[in-house]
Amino acid sequence: MSETTDRLKQLPLGDWHRAAGGRMVPFAGYEMPVQYEGVMAEHLWTRENAGLFDVSHMGQLNLIGEGAAEALEALVPGNIYALGVGKIRYTLLLAGDGGILDDLMVTNTGRNLYLVVNGATKQDDIAYLQSELPSGIALHHLDDLALLALQGPKAAEALAKLDIRSTFPDGPVPGDLYFMEAGPFVWNDIPLGISRSGYTGEDGYEISVSAEHAETLAEALVALAEVKPIGLGARDSLRLEAGLPLYGHDMDADILPVEANLNFALSKARREEGNFAGAERVLAQYPRSADKKRVGLLVDGRQPVREGAAVVDANGAAIGQVTSGGFSPTLQRPIAMAYVPMALAETGTQILVEQRKKQIACAVTDMPFVPHRYHRKPKL
Amino acid sequence: MSRYFTDEHEWIDVEGDTATVGITDYAQEQLGDIVFVETPEIGAELSAGDDAAVVESVKAASDVYAPISGTVIEANDALEEEPALVNSSAEEDGWFFRLSLTDKSELDDLMDEKAYKAFVDDL
């Protein structure tokens, strides 16, 4: 084992992944499975059945204390104060200049705010939150928890086969949750925090479970006919097809929310209040006054364009950059995300990407590339 | 015909002054599902170590280097329609290109099958 591998942290399910045939690679400081049987097969399995993803590298945090929602609102542009019990919101952790420090999910559990942040950024997030939040708000890093995502059109029918009950008498079963709802549950005396959410564009759940019980739960899930374990490779191609940005690639501290095409994360009430970190700079761009924007690209031909490739003008001068790119297993063609000048951000605009001295034609397109199939609450 | 191997996981079949180049079964296994192969232009003059081809999997692009010097005389057109041939038949139908060799003495630096197998077993 190399030195690099020695310094990598192990997931609670590390040995389980290896036993299941996972090929382990370094990611976010952890040794994680990039694939089991192959990215293409795992990707398509998730789109048609249900995939089990170990996302235990992500940071699970609790914010506890009177006024936690207002305190968090100072750092995020989402409406947290008005978030109902059992509801989840996607939001952005912003620096004082409005740059995106992370994207995260916030759940109002009724007792506290439960946050899920990216693995590669969690230590920085914790330090930032601790320095910015008032002393009355406690921040707990729940690093004794694992996080499993069950994603795909058969996720709900699969999870319904386990005898999972609400911790409340007459409470819901997981299948009663709608997209972006969460609740506390118990399975064989094991407490589970279950959210109807994920990052593949499919229906599914994210399940928080103690590290010591993670293997028991993973075993029970992959024993179901609908479920196979899925690696990071397919997780990346699934989220790319779903048009979902990946922190550290499609956005970072130099990118503002409107540039990242995340206007939906700027809640109306918060825009009106204008009292979150970097609000002045962020709102000056809202809704369409940024110089550049994250867009989707349909790539001509068969060759993928990759992260780092330049978007160029007719003279070959760099005017933008590809931030994620790969081959879409669902569409059987290359797709990408890129930052382009606002004038080129309209759907249908033809642009050029230069890669290895070769220019490749692309068309700006709406995202998602593959429609989302979330289990949304019916509109009244 | 003799088959040679490189530590970049390429195989080279030599017949007279002509060499056929591909990537090994070990390499395709590591790369995973191959979705695109860019082969060199016919007539391109390559020195050993030059970029010769690009192989793209779902997730990543990898360069294939010219294992020896020579002029490209043929590229495997079948890979355009069916890049997955590299997965299903890396060391036969999934060949990349043919070279007319410049300097056959360069072959002396390459591994034979037994040496390559030992090299891979050590990885």
pLDDT tens profile A15-73: 999 999 999 999 999 999 999 999 999 999 999 999 999 999 999 999 999 999 999 99
Task: Work out the number of other CB atoms within 10 angstroms of the CB of residue B54.
Answer: 18
A357–chain B Cβ distance below 8 A for any pair: no
B56–chain A Cβ distance below 8 A for any pair: yes
Q: How far is CA A117 from the centre of its chain?
A: 9
Query: CA nearest A368: which of A268, A294, A312?
Result: A294
pLDDT tens track for A109-149: 999 999 999 999 999 999 999 999 999 999 999 999 999 99
- What the block records as the tokens of A163 is 């005898």
Residue B40 carries which DSSP code? P
A227 touches A52 (CB < 8 A) = yes
The predicted model gives A164-181 an average pLDDT of 96
Q: How far is B33 from chain A (nearest CA, A)?
A: 6
- At residue A331, does pLDDT exceed 70? yes
- At residue A108, does pLDDT exceed 90? yes
Q: Tell me the whole-structure pTM to 2 decimals.
A: 0.95
Q: How far is B79 from chain A (nearest CA, A)?
A: 11
Q: Which residue of A has its CA nearest to B53?
A: A356
- At residue A3, does pLDDT exceed 50? no
- A-chain residues near B38 (CB < 8 A): 303
B123–chain A Cβ distance below 8 A for any pair: no
- What the block records as the tokens of A58 is 């992500």
Q: pLDDT over 90 for what percent of chain A?
A: 97
Which residues of B, range 65-94, sit inside 8 Å of A by Cβ?
Answer: 80, 83
Q: State the DSSP string of A90-117.
A: EEEEE-TTS-EEEEEEEEE-SSSEEEEE
Mean pLDDT over the full length of chain B? 96
